[in-house]
Amino acid sequence: MTVIGVLRERSDEPRVSLVPQDVAALVQAGFEVVVEHEAGIRAGFRDKDYEARGARTGGKDEVLAAEVLVQVRAYGADRGDGEDVPAGLRPGHVTVGLGNSLGNPAAAQAVAKAGVTSFCLELLPRTTRAQAMDVLSSQAVLAGYRAALVGAERLAKVLPMMSTAAGTLPPAKVLVVGAGVAGLSAIATARRLGALVSAYDVRPEAREQVESVGGMFVALPLDTSEGSAGGGYAAAMGEDFYRRQQELLAATVASSDIVITTAQVPGRRAPVIVTEEMVRRMAPGSVVVDIAAAQGGNCEVTRPDEEVLAAGVHVLGPSNIVAGLAPHASQLFSKNISNFLKLILNSEGVKLDLDDVLIAETLVTHESAVVHPAVLQRLGPEENAESEHVTPSTSPVRS
């Protein structure tokens, strides 16, 4: 019987990778689940809740004895991870979670050297079949929602228009930069709160999506024909493009009460769209919520996990904004993880069916080598050459 281990996250991560409800489904499917003591406590799930659904709870060493380890943020998810062999991981382990493999390829290499087979779900293609496993999208929905709430709470104004005997208060103006999943969620939430919402995105197809959730699309006279990288992602553009974009967007930023920035390019530093000068042109008391902070930020002023006051404007850079919604964020993440586990697990263990695009595109390390082409490219030619001979086998993986 394959054993799935649920590891407790680091101190700055309150989410848990599997919730009791999904543990029950995995146990019913024939798997054994062992959960590290209090792994779910910060997300509102007690050890006894897991035990009532058929899981065992135990210490970290007991969990590390499992063949398959699941986490929200696996080794590599933080840029500080890398070089050293990940503590507790051993040859034969299979890990599933977010690994920031494109942004931190050195960590992927360390995982490979430890003999670990790793699946990084940030690499999952955005296809119809993958939707049930798409952790980035499920978490982005909550990130955009929370960004709108954080901005509304920090702004010392009301968001909806209010008519009183003393006069009428106009609605607050919210600008959302980046109309992906998080951006669309932020637009819809700010609209529900009564704000006047506009949005900008480099992808030409974003206009219809913005308007479908009640936002007004900001059209700039720029050539955006190459702005889409496919799968709902934006492509990285050149420096001249971003400079011109900043110039044209400056007036819209200056007139906004809240600016929410969400623009990210997978595996790369987030583009700087809102400069310090643009922030300084905003009215004192205005707010910038930069949820691309973990990738460097879309705002030049942003400092991850800090609030910066620039000319009276509050610039917030939460690097893990969904942490404030840990119970529901865990619930969605857990459903994604359990669906992926059911895809890769069978009665013999982990079956590497590389004809399945969802498996092939999330497999990062196997047989002591980095096997994902995009991650190899980030590592450079030397590591590429070392791994050229490695072809992942399709036989079951056993510890």
Instruction: Out of 21, 191, 192, 233, pick the active-site residue.
Output: 233
Q: Which helix (H) or strand (E) holds 229?
A: strand 228-230
Mention every residue, 6+ apart, whose C-beta is less than 8 A from residue 213: 184, 187, 188, 191
The burial of 240, by beta-carbon neighbours within 10 Å (0-12 exposed, 13-18 middle, 19 or more buried), is given as exposed
Active site residue 225: no
Two tokens, residue 121: 């779900």
* Residue that the structure tokens 């003393």 belong to: 166
Give catalytic status of residue 243 as yes or no: no
State the burial class of residue 54 (Cβ atoms within 10 Å of its Cβ: 0-12, 13-18, 19+): middle
Sign of the CA dihedral running 9, 12, 18, 19: positive
Give the whole-angstrom CA distance, residue 171 versus residue 162. Answer: 8
User: Catalytic one among 47, 134, 201, 290?
Assistant: 134
Per the annotation, the verdict on 137 as an active-site residue is yes
- Candidate list 21, 56, 126, 368, residue with the active-site label: 126
Catalytic position from the list 137, 138, 295, 319:
137
- Rounded to whole angstroms, how far apart are CA atoms 26 and 24? 5
Q: Is 75 a catalytic residue?
A: no
Active-site option among 131, 347, 393, 395: 131
Q: Count CB neighbours of 80 within 10 A.
A: 9
Is 7:32 a contact under the CB 8 Å cutoff?
Answer: no
> Catalytic residue at 126?
yes
Phi and psi torsions of 261, nearest 5°: -110, 130
Q: Counting every residue, how long is the chain?
A: 399
Which sequence positions are flagged as catalytic? 126, 131, 134, 137, 233
